[in-house]
Every structure is written in C-alpha cells, then in structure tokens.
C-alpha cells in the first residue's frame, strides 16, 4: 500500500568526500535512512520510471537499509532495482553495473574503510548514471533537501528475500537479484592476461590476499584460488562479516597488521595485498616491503604496456593534489596527459569521460582506470601481478628499479583524528592567512616557492574547486594540509609531506621526511591547537 509518512528533518546529513557516513546508531534513529534516501530522490528530479543498482559491503544494518530502500523506491515510482544477492556488492562492480544495466545510478551501503558493527559506522554512497560519485551540485542539493524534508513515500509490504537470485516484484516495481562475482571476474579477464597469471601461480608463486572480513572475500577466493590457481588459503579473512570480525577494514600499515606480520616473517609469500570494506581501496606489499599508493600509481602507469587492455596506449593519468608527484615524472617520460585534482574520485570522472586520462589514483590507497568510474582494489592487485608475471621481478625489484629510473618521492601522510571540528576549522582558517606570508621564506636551506590554497579548474565543465593547502619548496618538496571528508566523528587533519631524492633512494622514509614534517607541524601549530604530540595514524 502506498503511504506518505510525515517526518522531521535531521540537520547532520551532509555528504562527505564519498557519501554519508555516520555511526550505525545514528542511522538507526527513526526516519534517518528514510529522510536521506527520500532527499536523494527529491534532489534528482524524482525517480519515477528510473532504475538503480543496490548493494552493500555486508556490514551491520546493510540489509535493514536495503529493505527500507526497496520500500521507498517503490513508494516513489522507481521502475526497477538491481540488487546484489544477499545485499552484497563491492563499490567497483556497482560502478560497472550502472553502465551495464544503464541505470540512473546506485546506492551502495557502506562506510568504506571505516569500522562496522552496531558500534561502528554505516553509510550510503550515491553514484549517478555516470557510474561515479555524485558531483557537488547534487550533494549540495541533497543536503539542502535533508534539512527541509517533511515527508517521504513508501509502499508497505513484506521484506524481499535477498537470497533468491532472479526477477521478482515489490508492488509495481521490478527487482532483479543478481550475483555480481562472475560479472566482475569476466570484466577483469577482458583487461588482464589471465594465462600469464595462471602460469605464474603454476610456477609456485605465493600470494596472501587479505579481504579483512569485508566485501572482496568471495570475489577474491573465486578469482585467485579457483580460477587463477593460487594455493587454497591464499585469501585470508575471506567471509564478509557484519562487524568485519572486529577489524578496521582499512588496508594500511596500521590496520592490516596481521598481513604485515606475515609479509615480514621468515617464510613470507612473494606478494601481499589487502582491500578495504567496500573493495575500492588496496595495498601492495612485497616481502618485508611496502609500496606507497603514490609509487604504485606511478609504477602502474609506467608499465601499462604489460596489460592487454592498455598495451596500445593510454590517454593520460590523474592524481589528487595530496598524492606524491611520482606519477608526474612518469607522465612526462611517456608524454601523456597529466592532471592534478582535489581529493575525491568524482574529479576523475570528467577526465575519463572526455578521454583525457586512462589511469588515476590517490594516496588514500586508491587506483583505477576508465574500465569503471570508481577505484578498484582487485584491479590494482591484478595489475601488479600481471607486471610480475611479465617481468619475473619481485615487488622490491620493480619498485627499486623504478626509483633508480625516476628518482624517489619520499612520502608520508600523518593523520590527526577526532579533533574538535571548531578547533580544526580555526586551524585551517589561520593556516590560510599564515601561508599567504610564507612565499620566499627559508626553512634551513629550503625556500618556499609557493604557498596557499589548492584550486582546481575542471578542464571539462569549467567548475572551480578548492581543496586544502599546498606549500611547494624550491627543491620540489611539498607539504599538503587538508581536512578529511570521510570521518564520522569530529574532524581529521591530514598532513602529507613529500621529498624528492634522485640518489639516496634506499633510506628510511620517516627519517627522510622528518624535517618537512617538523616544518609542517610548526607552521600549522598542530600540537598547540590540538594537544596532540604525535599523529594518530602514519602511513
Ligand atoms: C573516499 C573517496 C576517495 C578519496 C577518499 C578521501 O574514499 O572515494 O576518492 O580519496 O575518500 O578520504 P579523506 O577525505 O578522508 O582523505 P573511500 O574509499 O572512503 O570511499
């Protein structure tokens, strides 16, 4: 039965870098999900006759949210929902499915790399028909709507059985429950050389892939173990769990501790990798060796010729401003387009749609290509494995040779988490004023070339976006400051430092960036303002 329900607006439903992320308990408040989803529908000119892809990373409250979305979609006249079986779907495959099914967008129930469970986080990522994250005009309109909403529409009825594959209906709305694993693997097979990968594993190559009890588990077991022939057990933490088994599903040096321990042990496998909650982030490890995401993007770009889908050439590459400049040197050497954008995958979409770039990546453990309009963790892992299969080199050899050829951007990110939002905003505002006076100032032997806001002018739609602040030194070193757009409590200040070395490429990264980090801390008065002596997470 169609019903209109009166509701009271919430004022805290402002989307961040990619969707709305809040504590699960916030989502569990009365009408919280309904208000947000109805606001999305209202802000895109209604959804009558439209279709959407729906799925999630398996975290707590996912299926409750999906049932609510089904009812709201039917109440708003949606024609069809394509839903992942058991409500499961990775973010990368959702982007592909938008294109394959030509839907009007997707709703993916995830808080990405944030922890899950009743006391963890939940979220909704909304993507448009482009296959990519909604642009700012749309997210602004949604936020405005959430503050004004007074009612939502739904069709009341029994919950849909999400386990049963195939077509069904809810009211007048069509639903198709699909398995997304085979489709994802078929997409990967179109891109990579599966024969070379099978031959690699046949020779005894050892892989450890950590799904962190999140979405990629079932995809990875089938792909790596069943199809490519990696040894059984190569995929660890492979069952998606509502609370990720207590893990924080963020593939970095802090949270993927179990994998790091294995890769640093005596009998370490040849290659280690991990992905995040919804499968778009990734981390690459060799034996006792960590590859920074910035270097990974540079190496992927430099080796495009080894991958069948790209061997004929690539358009160009883009990175977020906070990502190191390692890939800039590769783009220059290959004479391909190069773009520096604000943080957020949405900024890459226009560049891909207009054939300006083929690859893109971010320091936050994201890389991808124009095969979809999202970052893709397993894609990045397959890319590395394909390079290894074709060159016969280890991860460490590949990276070291890359540094020998292009120099090394020593790079680190320092995160100061859960700062009071007012303090963080004041710190940034005062920093902007201070930066305007820094040009030409010397710190030791280093001289500031430019300092100020990072502003991106989109070459496709002409829009202009500011994201954080950037200090460039005469020797090529850089400091970037920005506030995270993905936290769920307070503010997170991110400080990124980078120093280029062409000769001393085998030094300790922390030591090499220390001077810059000290400068960054002093300039922003981090300890004085936040009370934090050290960063909470360093990657
Ligand atoms: C999201 C976006 C990414 C972006 C990241 C930044 O990642 O999809 O494009 O780089 O946020 O996070 P922050 O603003 O916290 O630095 P994800 O994986 O969380 O969806």
How much distance in Å is there from the Cα of 317 to the middle of ligand 1? 18
Of the candidates 112, 324, 364, 521, the residue annotated as catalytic is 112
Co-location of 114 and 133 in the same domain = yes
- CATH number where 35 lies: 3.40.120.10
How far is residue 527's CA from residue 140's CA, in Å, rounded to a whole number? 33
pLDDT at 525: 96
How far is residue 410's CA from residue 518's CA, in Å, rounded to a whole number? 15
Pocket flag, ligand 1, residue 90 (CB < 6 Å): no
How much distance in Å is there from the Cα of 201 to the middle of ligand 1? 33
Residue 343 CA, closest ligand 1 atom number: 10
Co-location of 320 and 380 in the same domain = yes
Domain boundary among 368, 383, 406: 406
Pocket flag, ligand 1, residue 376 (CB < 6 Å): no
Are the beta carbons of 41 and 47 closer than 8 angstroms? yes
Are the beta carbons of 46 and 79 closer than 8 angstroms? no
The residue whose CA is least distant from atom 11 of ligand 1 is 17
Co-location of 66 and 115 in the same domain = yes
Mutate to test the pocket of ligand 1, among 116, 215, 319, 486 (most ligand atoms within 8 A of CB): 486
Co-location of 19 and 154 in the same domain = yes
**To 5 degrees, how large is the angle CA 90–CA 108–CA 2?**
140
Domain residues for the domain of 127 are 2-178
- Residue written as tokens 């000119």? 45
Residue 16 CA, closest ligand 1 atom number: 14
Q: Spell out, as residue ranges, where the chain has pLDDT lower than 70.
A: none
pLDDT at 16: 87
Pocket flag, ligand 1, residue 362 (CB < 6 Å): yes
Pocket flag, ligand 1, residue 364 (CB < 6 Å): yes
How much distance in Å is there from the Cα of 18 to the middle of ligand 1? 6
**Terminal-to-terminal C-alpha distance of the chain:** 52
Pocket flag, ligand 1, residue 488 (CB < 6 Å): no
435 Cβ contact partners less than 8 Å away, ≥ 6 residues apart:
451, 452, 453, 469, 471, 523
How much distance in Å is there from the Cα of 291 to the middle of ligand 1? 19
How far is residue 414's CA from residue 480's CA, in Å, rounded to a whole number? 10
pLDDT at 108: 98
> What kind and span of H or E run contains 316?
strand 316-320
Residue 21 CA, closest ligand 1 atom number: 19
Co-location of 375 and 335 in the same domain = yes
The residue whose CA is least distant from atom 2 of ligand 1 is 344
Domain boundary among 148, 178, 208: 178
Q: Which of 228, 243, 246 is nearest to 381 (CA)?
A: 228
Co-location of 366 and 382 in the same domain = yes
Quick check: helix, strand or coil at residue 346? Answer: helix
For residue 234, indicate whether it is catalytic: no
How much distance in Å is there from the Cα of 344 to the middle of ligand 1? 6
Mutate to test the pocket of ligand 1, among 14, 15, 17 (most ligand atoms within 8 A of CB): 17
* Entry pTM: 0.96
Pocket flag, ligand 1, residue 484 (CB < 6 Å): yes
The residue whose CA is least distant from atom 4 of ligand 1 is 344
Co-location of 280 and 199 in the same domain = yes
How much distance in Å is there from the Cα of 71 to the middle of ligand 1? 29
Mutate to test the pocket of ligand 1, among 364, 373, 378 (most ligand atoms within 8 A of CB): 364
Domain boundary among 378, 406, 434: 406
Co-location of 99 and 224 in the same domain = no
Q: What is the pLDDT of residues 354-377, one digit of tens each?
A: 999 999 999 999 999 999 999 999
Q: Which of 45, 92, 93, 87 is nearest to 70 (CA)?
A: 87
How much distance in Å is there from the Cα of 486 to the middle of ligand 1? 6
Residue 487 CA, closest ligand 1 atom number: 15
The residue whose CA is least distant from atom 13 of ligand 1 is 484
Co-location of 174 and 201 in the same domain = no
Co-location of 96 and 12 in the same domain = yes
Co-location of 323 and 413 in the same domain = no
Residue 363 CA, closest ligand 1 atom number: 10
For the chain, how many structural domains are there in total? 3
Quick check: helix, strand or coil at residue 115? Answer: coil
Co-location of 190 and 249 in the same domain = yes
Pocket flag, ligand 1, residue 323 (CB < 6 Å): no
Pocket flag, ligand 1, residue 252 (CB < 6 Å): no
């Amino acid at each position: 039965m169609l019903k209109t329900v009166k509701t009271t607006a919430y004022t805290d439903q402002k989307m961040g870098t990619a969707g709305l992320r809040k504590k699960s308990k916030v989502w569990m408040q009365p009408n919280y999900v309904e208000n947000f989803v109805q606001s999305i529908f209202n802000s895109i000119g209604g959804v009558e006759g439209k279709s959407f892809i729906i799925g999630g990373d398996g975290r707590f409250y996912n299926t409750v949210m999906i049932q609510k979305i089904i009812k709201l979609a039917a109440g708003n006249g949606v024609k069809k929902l394509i839903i992942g079986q058991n409500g499961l779907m990775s973010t990368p495959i959702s982007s592909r499915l938008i294109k394959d099914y030509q839907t009007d967008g997707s709703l993916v129930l995830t808080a990405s790399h944030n922890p899950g469970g009743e006391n963890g986080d939940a979220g909704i990522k909304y993507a448009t028909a482009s296959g990519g994250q909604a642009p700012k005009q749309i997210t602004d309109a949604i936020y405005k709507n959430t503050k004004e909403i007074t009612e939502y529409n739904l069709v009341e009825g029994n919950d849909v059985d999400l386990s049963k594959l195939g077509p069904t209906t809810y009211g007048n709305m069509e639903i198709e429950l699909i398995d997304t694993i085979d489709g994802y693997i078929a997409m990967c097979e179109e891109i990579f050389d599966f024969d070379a990968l099978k031959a690699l594993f046949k020779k005894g190559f050892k892989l450890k892939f950590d799904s962190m009890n999140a979405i990629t588990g079932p995809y990875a077991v089938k792909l790596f173990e069943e199809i490519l022939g990696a040894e059984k057990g190569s995929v660890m933490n492979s069952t998606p769990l509502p609370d990720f088994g207590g893990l924080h599903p963020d593939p970095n040096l802090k949270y993927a501790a179990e994998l790091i321990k294995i890769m640093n042990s005596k009998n370490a496998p040849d290659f280690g990798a991990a992905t995040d909650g919804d499968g778009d982030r990734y981390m690459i490890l060799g034996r006792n060796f960590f590859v920074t995401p910035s270097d990974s993007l540079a190496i992927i770009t430099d080796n495009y010729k080894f991958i069948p889908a790209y061997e004929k050439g690539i358009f160009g590459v883009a990175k977020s401003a906070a990502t190191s400049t390692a890939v800039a040197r590769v783009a220059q050497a290959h004479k391909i387009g190069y773009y520096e954008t604000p943080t957020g995958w949405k900024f890459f979409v226009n560049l891909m749609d207009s054939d300006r770039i083929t690859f893109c990546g971010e320091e936050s453990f994201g890389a991808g290509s124009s095969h979809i309009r999202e970052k893709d963790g397993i894609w990045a892992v397959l890319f590395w494995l394909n390079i290894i299969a074709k060159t016969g080199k280890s991860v460490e050899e590949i990276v070291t040779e890359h540094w020998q050829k292009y120099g090394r951007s020593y790079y680190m990110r320092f995160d100061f988490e859960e700062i009071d939002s007012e303090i963080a905003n004041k710190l940034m505002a005062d920093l902007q004023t201070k930066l305007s006076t820094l040009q030409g100032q010397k710190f030791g032997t280093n001289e500031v070339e430019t300092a100020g806001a990072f502003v991106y002018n989109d070459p496709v739609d002409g829009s202009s976006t500011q994201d954080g602040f950037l200090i460039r030194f005469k020797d090529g070193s850089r400091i970037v400051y920005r506030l995270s757009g993905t936290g769920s409590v307070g503010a997170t200040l991110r400080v990124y430092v980078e120093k280029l070395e062409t000769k001393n490429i085998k030094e300790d990264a922390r030591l090499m960036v220390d001077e810059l980090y000290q400068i960054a801390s002093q300039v922003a008065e981090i300890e004085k303002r936040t009370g934090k002596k050290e960063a909470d997470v360093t990657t």
